[in-house]
Amino acid sequence: MAKKLVELSGMTNVFFCSTGLEANEAALKLARKFGHDKGITRPEIVVYEKAFHGRSIATLSATGNPKIQMGFEPLIEGFVRVPINNIQSLKDATANNPNVVAVFMEAIQGEGGINPMHIGYLREVRQLCDENDWLMMIDEVQCGMGRTGKWFAHQWAGITPDVMPLAKGLGSGVPVGAVVAGPKAAHIFQPGNHGTTFGGNPLAMRAGVETIHIMEEEGLLDNAARVGQHLSDAFADALATELACGTVKEIRGLGLMIGIELAKPCAALTQQAAGDFTHHQGTKWAQVQGHRGRQGQIPARLC
């Protein structure tokens, strides 16, 4: 399993855990240890508005949603928050701050409303991290494992992160999480720095290996790209009037990770759509969710 993930990612080492939350926790610990190893006593990590990384205290603190943070204060310090796809804002927020050690992002924000990081922006962040000796950490828990038509969504930009948390689709329903690391981060953890109870167990590893095998055998990455493009085009055609008059603001996403942003709150509409789907076989391949009040998310299955 580790060998396969290294092959697919172009990275070097893998740590296995059981969930995406655990994988993201490990990434945050890697970043802090990276800073301490450089003599930075209060390391800071750049995170993003509308981000979602989990519901533990550390991952909740990295998350950019005050609604789900409410009631769990005080949150953990050590995060610098910036808007997505604005390299100047990132540069301004980190200027003259020697404590910054990493940039932590989702290649496509899921819970935050299907907000893709632009290809150019991903490349600019990669360059900025290299110039400043920061870790580039990309959370692929939701957008990875073929959802967008590539194994990992950041691969559309032709870059490689230093740290990549994975989970969800990795085990086809069997709890599997992983943190994949490149040369810059692979040897930060030393014996005793981190651990896991169930990570790397035989069932999880078999599920992960078989998942990847089936995806390769059945060409599910190409299928995700092809069907995703078909859905996006069909939505654009079907909603052309609504797009023109502004009741639908935008259709965005990549592959089979698609969001439709409305001009007004969509809770009632998504509930109606969910009710309609329960009467059709379409429920076997699609799920409609309301996010951030105005976005509908359609994370269709790869097959």
Instruction: Tell me, yes or no, whether 146 and 281 share the same domain.
Output: no
Decide if 303 is inside a domain: no
Instruction: Tell me, yes or no, whether 56 and 150 share the same domain.
Output: yes
Three-state DSSP state, 264: coil
217, 239, 254 — which closes off a domain?
A: 217
Residue among 16, 52, 152, 189 flagged as catalytic: 52
Of 38, 52, 80, give the one whose Cα is nearest residue 185. 38
217, 235, 265 — which closes off a domain?
A: 217
pLDDT score at 264: 85
Three-state DSSP state, 50: coil
pLDDT score at 269: 75
Instruction: Tell me, yes or no, whether 207 and 260 share the same domain.
Output: no
pLDDT tens track, the chain, 303 positions: 999 999 999 999 999 999 999 999 999 999 999 999 999 999 999 999 999 999 999 999 999 999 999 999 999 999 999 999 999 999 999 999 999 999 999 999 999 999 999 999 999 999 999 999 999 999 999 999 999 999 999 999 999 999 999 999 999 999 999 999 999 999 999 999 999 999 999 999 999 999 999 999 999 999 999 999 999 999 999 999 999 999 999 999 999 999 999 988 877 777 777 776 665 544 444 445 555 566 666 565 665
Residue among 50, 79, 139, 189 flagged as catalytic: 139
Instruction: Tell me, yes or no, whether 77 and 147 share the same domain.
Output: yes
pLDDT score at 271: 77
CA gap 130, 149 in Å, rounded: 27
Instruction: Tell me, yes or no, whether 89 and 110 share the same domain.
Output: yes
Within 10 A of 196 (CB to CB), how many other CB atoms are there?
Answer: 14
Instruction: Tell me, yes or no, whether 16 and 158 share the same domain.
Output: yes
Decide if 39 is inside a domain: yes
pLDDT score at 287: 47
Structural domain harbouring 258: 220-298
Instruction: Tell me, yes or no, whether 226 and 157 share the same domain.
Output: no
Instruction: Tell me, yes or no, whether 151 and 190 share the same domain.
Output: yes
Active-site residue, 168 included = yes
Active-site residue, 139 included = yes
CATH number of the domain at 279, please.
3.90.1150.10
- The region, left, alpha or beta by phi > 0 then psi within -120 to 50, assigned to residue 96 is left
Tell me how many domains the chain contains. 2
DSSP-assigned letters across all residues of 146-165? TTTSSSSGGGGGT---SEEE
Instruction: Tell me, yes or no, whether 260 and 179 share the same domain.
Output: no
Instruction: Tell me, yes or no, whether 12 and 61 share the same domain.
Output: yes
Q: How many angstroms from the chain centroid is the CA of residue 127?
A: 20
Consecutive H or E run containing 13: strand 13-17
217, 245, 269 — which closes off a domain?
A: 217
Instruction: Tell me, yes or no, whether 181 and 275 share the same domain.
Output: no
Residue among 50, 150, 168, 184 flagged as catalytic: 168
CATH number of the domain at 72, please.
3.40.640.10
Query: Which two structure tokens, joined as six digits, stand for 268?
Result: 């009632």
Sign of CA dihedral 189, 192, 194, 196: positive
CA gap 279, 289 in Å, rounded: 17
Instruction: Tell me, yes or no, whether 124 and 249 share the same domain.
Output: no
